[in-house]
A and B are shown apart, each in its own frame.
Chain A
């Protein structure tokens, strides 16, 4: 009976070479069908003709950070990083007084630290709000000066990355409570409140941001009583707040709509008032759901701050463009836009990756 049962295992055979290893990977992922094989070859040829010249331009033939524009113009086969070397501080800090530029630098560091710290869910505690307020206060002191022995700096001199961060982060922070009220108002069953909120949200979302900036820059002065005037930066900030509030309200509304009706009914059943119900039961859940879309709103908002160039403020993009108008550096637009683009890209890409991670994490906790 046991004759045909083999008691000694055969030595392990290696799997056929065409099912594992790099060759199999190539077969499965690049050459699995005849048209994929053609496409692969075409794409490889395209990349092969595009990437080496680009790398040459970017690194090999490039001039270093100390190159002068005359040197670059003589041999223009490579990038001229001398442009960035000379204009770095102007692009990053705008026209802020040169010897005081540690202040906008510290502002950037504070903003980035706050943003990074707020990404960690362990820090999502009430004291984080206080930390943010402290951060805003120190940014205000640093930028304006006038106290603690800092020389005062007019906000017309602000520019570069701090301006981009101030417009977007402060815009977001102020717009957030307004957005919650708008979202609640839109779902309210008081007709007058609802109509007002819907009109506001749809009106703002229906027009481009530029028209709001125009409104802020040419109409706002007319709205104010005679003799009262507000400066350009504040006007732009108001336009951004109005804009952000409408878009964030829609993100929050999505969160509110995702809360099952039973939660509302349970809160009513406990005899909670409207605000108790919202603050203790509905909003904590709705906002958690709304965080990924809110982060996405923030990303597009961050990109949109570049529009202030149209009303004459010099944010990161504006400063980059202004640096190009220096006659001795005219024409080095590739270097300028690549540098500025990379800064924007790092901010936006890391935020979008964070939003995707958050979405996965939150989904995990919602799954039963």
Chain B
């Protein structure tokens, strides 16, 4: 901190042009030049070696390979994909698969983690002990082992496709995953989605209006119930208005697998289950410490003011607890996203697994690894930025 502060005693006279290593300012410059020089030197050494090696193996650098035909199939894709598509599109499929499992995982882990964190503080001894047993077991076992276990449970523990379990008509459970009937394609589903988005926007506007009115007149408007009503009601109206289609797309056995309906693949199930259960244990600890951090006196004060227990939790405890919870929660979300790369080990086609296939086929090792790293860095950065924005919003406003 004070390396550059000039000591008055034996320092050279100010303005003197003497170049002395005992002058901290000069020393700092020398050190930095040395460090940067060393880094540049090592970097140059590595790059020149790499170029040399690439030339020797006649591998062309650059990203032009992304436009070539990928010629490998991907089991799960959010967007249309066929082996005739390019490597670039295959990679995009991988990114979307990573995002899909991360987003669903974050939502589920937050819900389960919060429940378990609260359960650990329960006054019910049994519940509290059960929750802490869960946390202590799950977070001390490598996530990869948990993934393997869930995957083996599905792929080894369930019957093959031919003798699939059929608990309810139309629902099939086998090694290839869980097949359920899906509603047939219909424009109504898009309309319902739009109606839901409209309801969300309406709820947001309503909340602002209700807050402003409460500040003006003191009257409280039941925002929560109205918003819930809107979010269920509007899509329902859209559904009825669209003719209430009931046609279902049933999964049927064709050849070696089921066709039609919706499928929950064993790979997706294993990675989602593993990530959710593992991260939930950490989120539970974050939530628990956040709640503990809020002084008990706050609850007592709210009670003394006659605030009911619901609003006490919502308006007194949570805003203070969230301030403690959000930063470590952010790093848990980041961990979950990064851990989704373990998908490679069980064959879920996430971005690492697709980049791995690509670099094995094309030999473009450097490009493949930089694409993986670049994508994760941008995902990490976006989550950090969003959570920092949210954190700032809920941070204590000091006067």
Contact = CB atoms under 8 A, between A and B. Distances in A.
A349 interface: yes
The 10 closest A-B pairs by CB, nearest first: A348-B140, A29-B125, A333-B152, A208-B338, A303-B142, A192-B32, A208-B341, A218-B365, A306-B142, A206-B380
B31 A190 contact: yes
Contacts, number: 166
A317 B365 contact: no
Contacts of B53: 221-222, 224, 226
Contacts of B46: 223
A54 B356 CA distance: 39
A40 B124 contact: yes
A344 interface: yes
A271 B6 CA distance: 11
Interface string B344-369: 11000000100010010000011011
A219 B36 contact: no
Interface stretch (A64-72, A144-152, A209-217): A209-217
24 contacts: A30-B126, A32-B123, A39-B126, A40-B124, A40-B126, A47-B130, A189-B4, A196-B36, A206-B380, A207-B373, A208-B352, A210-B341, A210-B342, A214-B372, A215-B369, A218-B359, A271-B7, A299-B140, A303-B142, A333-B148, A333-B152, A333-B156, A341-B149, A345-B141
Contact of A264 (B2, B56, B130, B373): B2
A188 B365 CA distance: 35
B124 A36 contact: yes
A154 B301 CA distance: 69
A268 interface: yes
B372 to A, nearest CB: 5
A58 to B, nearest CB: 15
B56 A304 contact: no
Interface in B102-151: 122-127, 130, 136-137, 139-145, 148-149
Interface of B: 1-5, 7, 28, 31-32, 35-36, 39, 46, 49-50, 52-54, 56, 122-127, 130, 136-137, 139-145, 148-149, 152-153, 156, 338-339, 341-342, 344-345, 352, 356, 359, 365-366, 368-369, 372-373, 376-377, 380-381
B160 to A, nearest CB: 13
Contacts of A333: 148-149, 152-153, 156
A344 B144 CA distance: 12
A193 B31 CA distance: 9
Given A215-B369, A222-B366, A303-B143, A210 B344 contact: yes
Contact of A207 (B142, B368, B376): B376
Interface in A181-239: 187-193, 196, 203, 205-211, 214-215, 218-219, 221-226
A309 interface: yes
A211 B341 contact: yes
Contact of B145 (A191, A268, A337): A337
Contacts of B376: 206-208, 211
A321 interface: yes
A326 B28 CA distance: 61
A218 B35 contact: no
B345 A310 contact: yes
B282 to A, nearest CB: 10
A286 to B, nearest CB: 13
Given A29-B126, A205-B380, 4 more contacts: A39-B126, A208-B352, A209-B338, A317-B142
Contact of A30 (B32, B52, B56, B125): B125
A119 interface: no
A225 B145 contact: no
A33 B122 CA distance: 12
Contacts of A203: 373, 377
Given A43-B130, A226-B56, A309 B35 contact: no
A266 B267 CA distance: 59
Given A264-B2, A333-B149, A344-B142, A36 B123 contact: yes
B145 A223 contact: no
